[in-house]
Amino acid sequence: MNNLKVDVPANKLAIIIGAGGAGGNILQYIYHHNQYGEEIDCCALDTDRHVLSALEIPLSNKLLIGGKGTGTGADPEKGKQAAIESAEAIIKKINSGNYKFAFVIAGMGGGTGTGAAPVVAELCRSMGIYTIAICSTPFSFEDYSRHRQATEGIDNLKQHVDTITVFSNDSIINPDSSLTVPEAFNAADKIFYIPIDIICSILKGGGPLTHIDHRDIYTTLRGSKPAIFASGTGVGAKRITKALANLTKSPFLNHLKIEKSKRILLYIHAENEQNELLVKELEEVSDFFAEFSDGIELIWGYGYDSALKPDEIKVSVIVSGITDGEEVI
């Protein structure tokens, strides 16, 4: 597939491709919560005709792969073959616009998402698009074979993407919570949207002084496929400190510490130019970085987000190269 690679100018933010049942549900959530309009294109692909038809998104955003429409029976090899058979149709979808990023999203452990996601990712990369996989691992109560397939699927997916970020479905479970099962799945959909929203909000932040573009994100992520995405908000006194503290709640951290990273892109959002970040508040940022190693590579920016409250600050980070003696994922 590498011989398909072309270098074309990017004029849209991203294409988001949801593979399999979980990927389709997530894609449906993203489609209905997309804040970036025509800057983002969406496509749900599946081997199951009934699952695909049930999604509440336009027909033009759906793609049946493999032809039969009967699913894979939880067999990733069948998901892989279906994507390979439908490679031309997938390429046609990807070619609908020139993108800065391709996000491939899937719940790992099943058949279609686990098997098709690496094929889709490789097709995206073959067209010169920076490709990020966002995926989840099964709940701990699910059977061993699903966990094994998820592990093997993630290991395979790593070989076909520029960057990968993973969270566990167990991060949704709170013993003190009264979440219903549908609410839990909705919470998972929101988690999948975090990296997409962080990247897109940074690129659309409209910073008054410190502009960040997609090349800065590439620089932060380079050479380290596993990455962490986190954001937090703060209001009132020490709002920056509060927002930075909330970064540790990210489900993509996987119990690791941001302070162990080699590279970090930090972006601060205020509501608008009437509610600016104060120079003295940057001291709170300096205090935060006091725990990092001297060799850390930092890119930072500042912009606006009209969804914030007047006194609210949002801090988002993209983190790569965590070194603590163990793999990030």
Q: Give pLDDT tens digits for 84-136.
A: 999 999 999 998 778 999 999 999 999 999 999 999 999 999 999 999 999 99
Domain of 116: which CATH number?
3.40.50.1440
Of 152, 172, 201, which residue sits at a domain end? 201
Q: Give pLDDT tens digits for 257-307.
A: 888 888 999 999 998 888 888 999 999 999 998 888 788 899 999 998 888
Q: Give pLDDT tens digits for 136-152.
A: 999 888 888 999 999 99
Domain of 292: which CATH number?
3.30.1330.20
Residues 190, 222, single domain; the answer is no
Residues 171, 228, single domain; the answer is no
**Confidence (pLDDT) at 178:** 79
Poorest-pLDDT segment among 6-20, 147-161, 224-238:
6-20
Which residues have a Cβ under 8 Å from the Cβ of 39 and sit 6 or more positions away? 12, 13, 14, 200, 204
Q: Give pLDDT tens digits for 38-82.
A: 899 999 999 999 999 999 999 999 999 998 899 999 999 999 999
Of 154, 178, 201, which residue sits at a domain end? 201
Q: Which residues pair with 147 in a beta bridge?
A: none
**Confidence (pLDDT) at 326:** 46
Range of the domain at 112: 2-201
Q: Is residue 155 part of a domain?
A: yes
Task: Report the domain count for the chain.
Answer: 2
In the predicted structure, residue 4 carries a pLDDT above the cut 70: no
pTM: 0.91
Residues 172, 295, single domain; the answer is no
